Amino acid sequence: MNSKQNIPKKVIVLGAGGGHLTEALMAIDGVPMRRIIATYCLSHTRQSLKGEKVFCLIDPHGNLLKYMINLLQSLYMVLKVRPDFVVNTGGGMTLATSLIGKLFGAKLIYVESGARVCSPSKTGSFLYKYSDMFIVQWKPMLKHFPRAVYGGVLL
Amino acid sequence: MMFAMVGTNPYSFDRMVRPLDMLAGKYHWDIHIQLGHTDYIPVNCRYTDFITREKMLEYIDKSNVVICHGGFGSIRDALAFNKPVVAIPRRPEFNESQDYQEEMVREMEKDGYVIAVYDIEGLESAIISAQGFVPEKRPESRIPGLIEDFMYG
């Protein structure tokens, strides 16, 4: 067995909110890693993510000040964690962390949402060219993302 | 009991909730509705606007049919409990959503995972046929395997 496989990779798992977070957790289910879940925190979030390392990111919502805060939070998190990988299931909140992660040497794995059957998401379209691995859940999406891998639906 | 949900979508979904409420009155069905941002207030069903994820999963588990909008997350959560799902895609042209839900619901229907209702006139027969409907088995997703191979391959 390759000795590299014994060292779990450091991963920032980006799960923007609600459905995105659920998909993120399903996408990495059973994959060995040392992970931190970066999400938009509501009152129940930490409770639901018992046992996980959680980092709360602000959701920019098109607000310039919130984008700046998100940027600084992302920079802080990436410098602190020094991830090998960033796993992203979409949402505007995840852009800064994905790009900053790439900047500091992490590989970006993007999983396009299962809600996307024929038309791509904005976040997916933007991050496609930066992704080291781009996974789609429905075959028609391969038309939009020819370099992507079809992974089947996370159900 | 039956559980109905419209998700967290900011648009109202009266087209689903009002007829469902009428049917509950007609058949004396025990239905709990998660109303979300829907304007219509049910008279024959119990309802709450929003519930915690834990509570929602509890309602799904207790129900024998789940009626929901065509949101991927709602359908996925209902299927996790192997429940019969009646899915009604929201239509942007009726001001029910920003996105088209129909394409995803059609794929789900084709694979035998849900009973779909595109014209709301079909809601009554869909719910009746949902009793005893068994969704097709969902294949295990390859995504965790793909991610593990990419990370350690």
Report CB contact under 8 Å: A117, B103. Answer: yes
Tell me the per-residue pLDDT of B77-123, one tens digit each, with 9 for 90 and over: 999 999 999 999 999 999 999 888 999 999 999 999 999 999 999 99
| Cβ-Cβ contacts under 8 Å, A89 against chain B | none
Q: Which residues in chain B are contacts of A9 at CB distance < 8 A?
A: 151-152
- Residue A4 pLDDT more than 60? no
Put simply, the answer to whether A30 touches B144 (Cβ < 8 Å) is: yes
User: Tokens 């209702």 identify what position?
Assistant: B117
Provide the pLDDT confidence category of residue B17 given band limits of 50, 70 and 90: very high
> What pLDDT was estimated at residue A102?
98
Q: Residue B138 burial by CB count (10 A; 0-12/13-18/19+): exposed, middle or buried? A: middle
ipTM: 0.95
Helices B123-130 and B14-27 pack at an angle, to 10 degrees, of 60
Question: pTM, whole model, 2 decimals?
Answer: 0.87
Distance, in Å, from the CA atom of A93 to the CA atom of A71, rounded to the nearest integer, reads 10
Spell out where A9-152 has E strands.
9-15, 33-39, 53-56, 85-88, 107-111, 133-136, 149-150
Strand-pairing partners, residue A149, are A135
pLDDT bucket at A18, cuts 50 / 70 / 90: confident
Chain A contacts to B (CB-CB under 8 A): 2, 4-5, 9, 11, 18-19, 22, 26-33, 44, 48, 84-85, 87, 107, 109, 111, 113-115, 117-119, 132-133, 135, 137-138, 149, 151-155
What pLDDT, in 10s, does the model give residues B32-83?
999 999 999 999 999 999 988 889 999 999 999 999 999 998 999 999 999 9
* Per-residue confidence (pLDDT) for residue B64, from 0 to 100: 97
Preferred mutation among B72, B83, B104, B143 to probe A, highest tally of A CBs within 10 A: B143
